[in-house]
Amino acid sequence: MIWDYIFPAIFGTAVFIQLIYLLFVFTALLKDEPVTEEKQKTPSVSIIVAAWNELVNLKELLPLLDNQDYPDFEIVVVDDRSSDGTYDYLRTNEGEYKNLLFVNVKALPEHFTAKKYAVTMGIKKATKEVILLTDADCRPLSKNWIREMAAKLKDDKEVVLGFSPYNKYPGLLNAFIRYETFQTALQYMSFAKVGMPFMGVGRNLMYRRECFWQNKGFSTHMGLLSGDDDLFINEVSKSNNTEISLNYDSYVSSEPKTTFDSWVTQKRRHLSVGKKYKARDKFSIAMLWLSFLACWFFIIPAFVAEPSWFVLPDWMRVSEQWLDSIGWQQYTPYTNWMRVVTGVFISWLLLRWLILSLTNKKLGLTVSSGKILLLDFLYFAYLVIFGMMSLFSNPKKIKWR
């Protein structure tokens, strides 16, 4: 039957595509960067923080930012119409922060979403040559955060992609949020490493201020709720102008969602703008995700298919005498094909676990390596469900909260 040929062909093609990504893209993060004796550059840096009713978080974040070990930087907080006393706190500078500037947004212009307008106003207020973005609920893991990010901004670079893992708490939801964040970082960082940058995360993102204005800011997508980080980077990043930072001191931790509903709303917002990416990036990510899904979807139909044209060599065949000895004669028609498919699938699964474990270690053990296979199966279900939701959603109708 025709399906005897289609199922194995799809399964085999999916595994082959997965091997390309696993062996030639993801492993790029495992390569040590060459050590150079070039003097570290310290360009002037403006940290932009957009805040909506984030007074509690700002009181924790601003001291950490103000005490960064860096010669020339400023902190620009954009108070986005807050009602919790943020404006008075910033105006009186109760914490006596020596590097603090602020912008008070009183009204939102028509056709401009809140986060993008706030970031734009922050960059307009900034006086330094380099922009470093983070959120109010984030915390730099080191006093050298600015220094480590800026160190990657060499003369020919305009964008630096940083990593922002979520804090660890008990429960399966938190474990999966951290794993999905690891997967996202693995993808955008490894793609950038092989010369195909396609997105960044606004919790830890650096670019030159001139790059922002030359690109006319968020003008091409200012009406969409999301995209102040990934869509902007998708537009401006190139193979030769983007760098990544894997040094632990450059990481910024963040608070995860604590309820399933709030997390679903957040992910729908993030994934909704993927269809706005460049055609090349949509294709490469689609191939990565579809091949991953196909490896799971087609394992069962490929398992039972027995194409008559496929003749296994003797060393791959399962002995019928051995099957008779254990009472499995009834499985004889499927035995040898089952052996091939099972072996390929398990080999792919183990190779995937090995590479994900190594890259997970490289990114600071975001999740437990022992739980990767379980979380990877949940990631399969996540891509199926959210992929369908994103495919049929309208980015302009996605809610912020």
Question: pLDDT category, 315, cuts 50, 70, 90?
Answer: low
The pair phi, psi for residue 335, each rounded to 5°, is -55, -55
User: Tokens standing for 314?
Assistant: 């003797």
Lowest mean per-residue pLDDT among 153-157, 207-211, 298-302, 338-342: 338-342
Residue 349, judged by CB atoms within 10 A of its CB (0-12, 13-18, 19+), counts as middle
Per-residue pLDDT for 38 more than 90?
A: no
The pair phi, psi for residue 202, each rounded to 5°, is -65, -10
| Best CATH choice for the domain 41-263 from the list 3.30.565.10, 3.40.50.300, 3.90.550.10, 3.40.50.1950 | 3.90.550.10
Sequence-distant (≥ 6) Cβ neighbours of residue 313 within 8 angstroms: none
The pLDDT assigned to 1 comes to 56
Question: pLDDT category, 400, cuts 50, 70, 90?
Answer: very low
Each residue's pLDDT tens digit, 73-127: 999 999 999 999 999 999 999 889 999 999 999 999 988 889 999 999 999 999 9
Lowest mean per-residue pLDDT among 177-181, 192-196, 271-275, 346-350: 271-275
Lowest mean per-residue pLDDT among 233-247, 270-284, 315-329, 374-388: 315-329
Please name the helix (run of DSSP H) or strand (run of DSSP E) that holds residue 382, with its range, or none: helix 372-391
The pLDDT assigned to 268 comes to 81
Q: What is the mean pLDDT of the chain?
A: 89
Per-residue pLDDT for 340 more than 50?
A: yes
Q: Where are the domains of the chain?
A: 2-25+284-397, 41-263
pTM of the predicted structure, to 2 decimals: 0.89
Please name the helix (run of DSSP H) or strand (run of DSSP E) that holds residue 139, with its range, or none: strand 138-140
The pLDDT assigned to 241 comes to 96
The pLDDT assigned to 300 comes to 79
The pLDDT assigned to 329 comes to 61
Residue 79, strand partner residues: 51, 104
Cβ contact 209:45 at 8 Å: no
The pLDDT assigned to 225 comes to 74
Per-residue pLDDT for 320 more than 60?
A: yes
**Residue 241 CA from chain centroid, whole number:** 19
Characterize 13-45 residue by residue with b for buried, 16 or more Cβ atoms within 10 angstroms of its Cβ, and e for exposed: ebbebbeebbeebbbbbeeeeeeeeeeeebebb
Length of the chain: 401
What is the mean pLDDT of the segment spanning 190-210? 97
Higher pLDDT, 25 or 38: 25
CB atoms within 10 A of CB 361: 12
Per-residue pLDDT for 327 more than 90?
A: no
Higher pLDDT, 270 or 96: 96
Per-residue pLDDT for 392 more than 70?
A: no
Sequence-distant (≥ 6) Cβ neighbours of residue 43 within 8 angstroms: 72, 128, 129, 130, 150, 153
What is the mean pLDDT of the segment spanning 302-314? 64
The pLDDT assigned to 56 comes to 97
Each residue's pLDDT tens digit, 1-34: 566 678 778 889 999 999 999 999 999 999 877 6
Give which of 19, 26, 17, 22 is closest to 286, Cα–Cα: 17
